[in-house]
Amino acid sequence: MDYQFTIIVPVYNEEDNLARVEQELLAYIKIASKKTKILFVNDGSKDNSQQLIEAIAARNPEFQYISFTENRGLSAAIKAGFDYTNTELVGYIDSDLQTAPEDFNLLLKYINDYDLVTGVRANRKDSFVKNMSSTIANGIRRAFTKDGMDDTGCPLKVIKTDYAKRIPMFKGLHRFLPAMILLQNGKIIQVPVQHFPRLAGQANFGVWNRLFGPLMDCFAYLWMKKKYINYSVEKQS
């Protein structure tokens, strides 16, 4: 099949969520505005996630997977998904499904005119501590990157794949995807999307990850921005 859009689903110890992930993504595929397939990236899960992923892929041809030998983190899972994508568009959604797959259609409306479209979570259904730490972290990141985005941690994005594949790899990458597209002279936009409470499993990020980690990553981003190589080809033989 000529798929146009790959949705990356990073997975780390999400066995309690995967049946729902299968159900909701199958429902989305039927209404997707682009021909869509799913790519699970199992980030070294220690539970039964891999067995469940293999069963899902066996009964659904639209589902594929790759599995890490060990846990390498969310940024590595997203980057691996970019590397293994062969469609013109790529996106991702967290396996906790706190965002809605059907909202991909909202983002896809803008992808012809932009190179990255990111969701911004409206009426977030998280704890006060999580919301406050994310707000502070986003403010710090915005001050460093000047990307103008309010919620780069939103786990719902669509990117043109040729831009995604040119993003260099480093830990904390997932917080800087809009800024990385701007470094390529690409165009970005944010679009409000739905947000829901986590129904199963446990969040893999604490206050350190959401607040202090992003602050340190900002310095890494500034170093990379100074060293970043960007070019455009005018002619080719």
pLDDT tens profile 169-202: 778 778 889 988 998 999 999 999 987 765 555 5
Written as six digits, the tokens of 141 are 């990141």
Q: Look at residue 136 in the predicted model and tell me its pLDDT.
A: 59
Decide if 234 is inside a domain. Answer: no
Q: Look at residue 231 in the predicted model and tell me its pLDDT.
A: 74
Written as six digits, the tokens of 197 are 């409470």
The residue ranges of the chain whose pLDDT is under 50 are: 128-129
The CA distance from 139 to 5, in Å, is 31
Instruction: For CA atoms 79, 75, 115, 168, give the dihedral sign.
Output: negative
Neighbouring-strand partners of residue 36: 5
Q: Look at residue 134 in the predicted model and tell me its pLDDT.
A: 62
Decide if 164 is inside a domain. Answer: yes
Q: Look at residue 210 in the predicted model and tell me its pLDDT.
A: 57
Decide if 50 is inside a domain. Answer: yes
The CA distance from 88 to 237, in Å, is 24
Q: Look at residue 22 in the predicted model and tell me its pLDDT.
A: 98
Decide if 215 is inside a domain. Answer: yes
* Residue 8 host element (H or E): strand 5-11
| CATH code for the domain in which residue 192 is found | 3.90.550.10
Q: Look at residue 140 in the predicted model and tell me its pLDDT.
A: 63
Q: Look at residue 153 in the predicted model and tell me its pLDDT.
A: 77
Decide if 232 is inside a domain. Answer: no
Decide if 120 is inside a domain. Answer: yes
Domain with 165, as residue range(s), is 5-227
Decide if 145 is inside a domain. Answer: yes
Decide if 44 is inside a domain. Answer: yes
Separation of CA 76 from chain center: 11
Q: Look at residue 208 in the predicted model and tell me its pLDDT.
A: 54
* Domains of the chain: total: 1
